[in-house]
Amino acid sequence: MLTIGVEEEYLLLDRDRGLPVPRSAQVRAAADRLKSVAEDEVEPELLQAQVEVGTPVCESLEEVGENLVRLRGAVAAAAANAGCRVAACGAAPARASDPVPVTAKERYQAMSEDAPQLVDEQLINGMHVHVAIPDRDNGVGALNRVRPWLPVLVALGANSPLWDGGDTGFASWRTLVFDRWPVSGPPPVFADAADYQARTGALLDAGAVMDRGQLYWQARLSERYPTIEIRALDVQLDIQDAVTLAGVVRALVARALDDHRRSARLPDAPSELVAAATWQAARHGLDENLINPHTWRPDTAREVTGALMTHISPALREAGDLDLVTAGVERLLSQGNGAQRQRRAFVKDGLESVVDLITAQRG
């Protein structure tokens, strides 16, 4: 069974107005004093109104869930100690007029000098899923085969419909904000690990990125761990949805690795169609048609999600995750993803209700 790890990014909001507040240092210091938190499990992010957590390497989805319950609870307690609230949303629903300060880290300061407006608006939060790979050649083979399905992940995981106090019209505004960086969106197809290394090195040599951490593709090879890292998902409102989508991602990578080992034909996934499908998924989430990666024609969100589930069902069954993930995906389709739930709260009771929703601690 492939091991898995999950990273989640959160916003820190003030108690009264629900605006981002620069208290990352205080929250991390408070978290470090908790016995339930290990060293480096709560880390800074680009802006001082954000923190990131990372689970240990996990064998099972149950273990992922247990660690996310532990880490979210710890960060919520630390935030309360620092006089703020933790929000699990893909984008800040509202912002103050003054930009949030950048974290005092050389790399982040350099990014701010290079692209100040982009950094000021980087109040977005993702869920990154790391899945173990045997080596980087196999990892590239998996990257090439998960590409067509990344837009479906965007749609399922959309949780960022609001920005500057209003509805953006997009289910995942985070996807659009992130797509403004030079190297972002769905990754290209690579021949092998050497090709990946050479072409990413060329981006570095060209000055397009300052380091490999700025390869903001929705799926990439990790530079820190022996994993493929799937970055297409907004951070989730609920832990149970995060666990469901982590299971979907692990099964998708497992199926891709198996297809690569069998030298199965690469899926027909032209870059322009994958990019268009990504925009469509970010725009509509689960509310309208998506582009079906089997046919590259529009189809209902339920049909496209069903195609994904059929594709990964053998891997889910082998991991013992079929029932848990199937029930979780059905819950997303029937009860709504984060974007749909945020919109319902916004329409019913306004921004205050949205802030209550995204700062609630739910398992």
Mean pLDDT to the nearest integer, 126-149: 98
Which one is the CATH code of 4-359: 3.40.1190.10, 3.90.228.20, 3.30.590.20, 3.30.465.10? 3.30.590.20
238 SS3 class:
coil
The letter for the amino acid at 72 is R
What is the separation of C-alpha 20 from the centre of its chain, rounded to a whole number of angstroms?
19
| Chain length of the chain | 363
Q: Given a cut of 70, is residue 241 above it in pLDDT?
A: yes
What SS3 state is found at 102? strand
What's the pTM? 0.98
> Could you give the 3-state DSSP secondary structure of residue 292?
strand
Q: 328, exposed or middle or buried, with CB in 10 Å at 0-12, 13-18, 19+?
A: buried
Task: Provide the CB-side half-sphere exposure for 42 (13 A, CA).
Answer: 31
68-92 pLDDT per residue, tens: 999 999 999 999 999 999 999 999 9
Q: Which among 360, 362, 303, 353 is positioned nearest to 94, based on CA atoms? A: 353
Amino acid letter for position 180:
R
Token pair recorded at residue 17: 């107005």
Residue with tokens 């990504």: 278
- Average pLDDT of the chain, as a whole number: 97
Task: Give 270-287 pLDDT, tens digit per residue.
Answer: 999 999 999 999 999 999
Tell me: the pLDDT tens digits for 153-207? 999 999 999 999 999 999 999 999 999 999 999 999 999 999 999 999 999 999 9
Q: Would you kindly state where each structural domain of the chain is located, as residue ranges?
A: 4-359
Instruction: Return the closest-CA partner of residue 27 out of 75, 90, 93.
Output: 75
Burial class of residue 242 (count of CB atoms within 10 Å of its CB; 0-12, 13-18, 19+): buried
Distance CA 341, CA 335 (A): 8
What does the pLDDT read at residue 361? 73
The string of pLDDT tens digits covering residues 255-266 is 999 999 999 999
User: How far apart are alpha carbons 86 and 12 in whole angstroms?
Assistant: 5
Check: CB of residue 258 under 8 Å from CB of residue 177.
no
Which string of DSSP letters, residue by residue, matches 260-289? HHTTPPPP---HHHHHHHHHHHHHHTTSS-
Alpha helices in the chain (DSSP H): 24-32, 61-81, 106-114, 116-120, 136-146, 150-156, 173-178, 193-205, 239-261, 271-284, 301-319, 322-335, 338-349, 351-359
Over range 320-342, report the average pLDDT: 98
